[in-house]
Structure 1
Amino acid sequence: MKIIVAPDSFKGSLSAVRAAEAMRKGIQTAFPEAEVVMVPSADGGEGTLETLVASNNGKKKKVTVTGPLGTAVEAEYGVLEETGTCIIEMASASGLELVPRTALDPLKATTYGTGELIRAALDDGYSSFILAIGGSATNDGGAGMLQALGMKLLDSKGEEIFFGGGELKRIHRIDLSSFDPRIGRSTFVIASDVGNPLIGLDGASHVFGPQKGAGPETVRELDAQLSHFADKVAEVTGIKLHHRPGAGAAGGLGGAFQAFFPSRMERGIDIVLAYQRFSDHLSEADLVLTGEGRVDAQTASGKTAMGIAQAAKKQKVPTIIIAGSVGDGAESLYKHGVVSVNSMVNGPMSLDEAIGQAASLLEWGTEQVVRSYFHKGVRKQKGVF
């Protein structure tokens, strides 16, 4: 019996690595003889750096950078030494988790620290990058990142604008003369499953602004600010980001990469699975288990569980999902190779209680799932009983 466990992180409670270990324990409680292959995964958001470094014997380097609200934070980037690829997770420098919920302010939040991370990696000699851009606290169109890399965003007096999405309307001219020339000699793969445009009702501000602290009036203000920024970008590059798919990712950071970097955007889970050689692990596998904190209709938009199931389906290996909670629309995953979606919660409890017991609950839930799936008849059929 060969079972692959390939969970994402369970946000706020378990990293993907810890989740995989809990699932392994659950399987081997039920079937000590089982071969368990742990492939902790991610979809381009938080945890992507850790997942890729862990699965490729990579290393991490810590860098002190400017956090989303202008204070210093300790971030890190990873390096896959076999290929020399640098992994930058923008959430490490400019993420939601760095800002208390009561202090969220997308009018002021900046991506400057993400630019500083890129600059530090360039200084260390790296030229091949994977950028995981999920989980941002920002809505500045990537302006801060561009400033950190030498671009000048100048007001009508020829002075640099300040940080944040609320400053973009002050841009009178974009000066590229000091933009780091090493950018043009490097390659950037942007890990993102967001196809939203920069502006409009489906754009960065309207769709993602509220989770970053923006009320209705602020959302409209941010959308107008990004529209002005896109106008100025078009003046110097000829690229119109306004309605360009993917430009709205990470508060417009995706658009900055599209306009000023030699880059391409790919679905985050596909990048991770390729670097993990996931398809190789599927050989002779009987079952794939994956999971994340919540599974619902959004999971089918390219989240980890969806990508895992699609990859497994190609090799005719069934997938079962174990989640902290299951919401509306989870049934849409069944047509993509998912056998069932299960909650690991085994009784009435608060969210805080579930988070506190996440490892033991996931272990228990996994044990029950595999006991049920590999019942006596199935085990005989597979020659493992």
Structure 2
Amino acid sequence: MNILLSPDSYKHSLSSIEICNVMEESINQISDEIKVHKFPVSDGGEGFLDVFFYHDDTLEKKYYTVSDESGNKREVMVGYCPKVKEVIIEVALIVGLVQLEANTKDIEKRTTFGIGELIIQVCDDLEVNSIIIGLGGTSTNDGGIGCLAALGMHLYDRNHNEVEPYLLNIEKVHHIDMQLVSEKIADVRFKLLCDVNNVLLGEQGATYTYAPQKGANERTCDYLEHCMKKWTLLLNDLMNKTCHEEKGSGAAGGLGFAFLSCLHTEVVNGTYYILERFHFHHYLNQCDYLITGEGKTDYQTLFGKVPVSLAKIAKQYKVPTICISGAVSAISVMDMLESGIIGLYGLAQRPMTLKDSLNDTKYLLQKITQSVVSTISYHK
């Protein structure tokens, strides 16, 4: 029997590569007749860059020092493919939710400035035709103002005094000057990889959908949405575009909107891009079962998250899918079955706190993997 392991990461716990390795070890302990194939995947969030390095050994590691969401300096890694002059960036390494608990600034003062800094540095340091950016897992909600400021945007009030590039200062802004720091950036093609189709504004927009996960309360969300509307009007007027209604403009706290408005940008589904780029279907052709998973499987999973995306493809190849996630809640069994997922499992097999679950993730994953694989191998 052949089993393909293709999970997303368990946020704050195990990377997709680590999950594959734990599952493989667990399966090998119960049978030497099962052949394991590994295809770690990411939708653009945490662990995105590691997945690229796993699948592509031609990538070179490059390191740069940039500002994080609070303005502190941080060394980050990018991938570089010299053959096609392409850079791979994971924004979660710069302004990620992983650092949220240690964050010293409220969401209104967090900035994407470091992302723009990184783009400038790689373009000055390397020959770059294109940049692929994984947009998931950010702690910011600034509409990309910080990023554009690093790239050369200046904000001015009515008296032509410069305004600090934060979303909460947008009421002071009367005029915007957008002049890219480096002419090289104007010729670069950007591809944004993410798992969301949210537009910028409204109940399904960047702020109301994702800011609460980043520490914003209801009052803060209302204020941020008000500021985001003002920012939208200003940038639309400057660029003579209306990109705030495009799918993906609400990704990464509105960072997608900034890229779509000011740079040569395409937004694509991160999961499908990785599956196609690294030939996922070749693995499916030789497997009897697919095991996938994510940190938490809930109703949002049905809207293009990794497990459902993979299951729908596997279903076309008549490969049944099993999902083992860190947690499972509020999702219909029928919806899972229709997508091709025949079994859905959460790691916690008894009542436990989130802290205990995170501490015991590896052990819990070993046990549930062995239980599931023992069952399907018996019936096989």
For Structure 1 versus Structure 2, the TM-score category normalised by the shorter chain is over 0.9
Match in the other structure for 1:189: 191
Match in the other structure for 1:13: 13
Contact 1:112 1:148 in 2 (8 A): yes
The letter of the residue matching 1:7 is P
Using structure 2 for the length normalisation, give the TM-score: 0.94
Aligned partner of 1:288 among 268, 287, 290: 290
* 1:251 maps onto 2:249 in alignment: no
TM alignment of 1:96-115, pairs within 5 A: 96-100=97-101, 103-115=104-116
Structure 2 CA distance, aligned partners of 1:242 and 1:106? Answer: 21
The letter of the residue matching 1:162 is E
Aligned partner of 1:357 among 342, 355, 360: 360
1:81 positional shift: 5.1
1:115 positional shift: 0.7
Contact 1:48 1:272 in 2 (8 A): no
1:272 positional shift: 1.5
The letter of the residue matching 2:26 is G
1:284 positional shift: 2.1
1:243 positional shift: 3.3
Q: Which moved more, 1:272-281 or 1:163-172?
A: 163-172
1:286 positional shift: 0.5
Indicate the percent of aligned positions where both proteins have the same amino acid: 33
Unaligned runs of 5+ residues in structure 2 are none
Q: Secondary structure at the match of 1:45?
A: coil
What are the superposed Cα offsets for residues 189-233 of structure 1, whole Å, 9 maximum, x if unpaired?
Answer: 111222222122222222222222222222121111111111111
Structure 2 CA distance, aligned partners of 1:81 and 1:297? Answer: 41
Structure 2 CA distance, aligned partners of 1:174 and 1:140? Answer: 16
1:330 positional shift: 4.9
1:324 positional shift: 1.8
RMSD of the TM alignment (CA)? 1.8
What are the superposed Cα offsets for residues 78-130 of structure 1, whole Å, 9 maximum, x if unpaired?
Answer: 22455443111111112222232674522111000011111122122222111
Structure 2 CA distance, aligned partners of 1:188 and 1:204? Answer: 20
Q: Which moved more, 1:337-346 or 1:162-171?
A: 162-171
1:336 positional shift: 1.1
Q: Which moved more, 1:139-148 or 1:78-87?
A: 78-87
Structure 2 CA distance, aligned partners of 1:235 and 1:214? Answer: 28
What are the superposed Cα offsets for residues 240-272 of structure 1, whole Å, 9 maximum, x if unpaired?
Answer: 234333211111101011111111111110112
Match in the other structure for 1:49: 49
Q: Which moved more, 1:110-119 or 1:273-282?
A: 273-282
Q: Which moved more, 1:198-207 or 1:228-237?
A: 198-207
Structure 2 CA distance, aligned partners of 1:82 and 1:306? Answer: 34
Structure 2 CA distance, aligned partners of 1:347 and 1:107? Answer: 39
Q: Which moved more, 1:242-251 or 1:42-51?
A: 242-251
Match in the other structure for 1:383: none
What are the superposed Cα offsets for residues 35-68 of structure 1, whole Å, 9 maximum, x if unpaired?
Answer: 2111111111111111111211123222211111
1:289 positional shift: 0.6
Q: Which moved more, 1:152-161 or 1:129-138?
A: 152-161
Structure 2 CA distance, aligned partners of 1:341 and 1:80? Answer: 38
The letter of the residue matching 1:164 is Y
Match in the other structure for 1:278: 280
Contact 1:48 1:132 in 2 (8 A): yes
Contact 1:312 1:319 in 2 (8 A): yes
Unaligned runs of 5+ residues in structure 1 are 379-385
> Aligned residues, how many?
377
What are the superposed Cα offsets for residues 272-318 of structure 1, whole Å, 9 maximum, x if unpaired?
Answer: 21222111111121111111221111111111112221221221111
Match in the other structure for 1:166: 168
Q: Secondary structure at the match of 1:76?
A: strand
TM alignment of 1:327-346, pairs within 5 A: 327-331=329-333, 332-346=335-349
TM alignment of 1:1-385, pairs within 5 A: 1-57=1-57, 58-80=59-81, 83-100=84-101, 103-123=104-124, 124-331=126-333, 332-375=335-378, 377-378=379-380
Q: Which moved more, 1:148-157 or 1:49-58?
A: 148-157
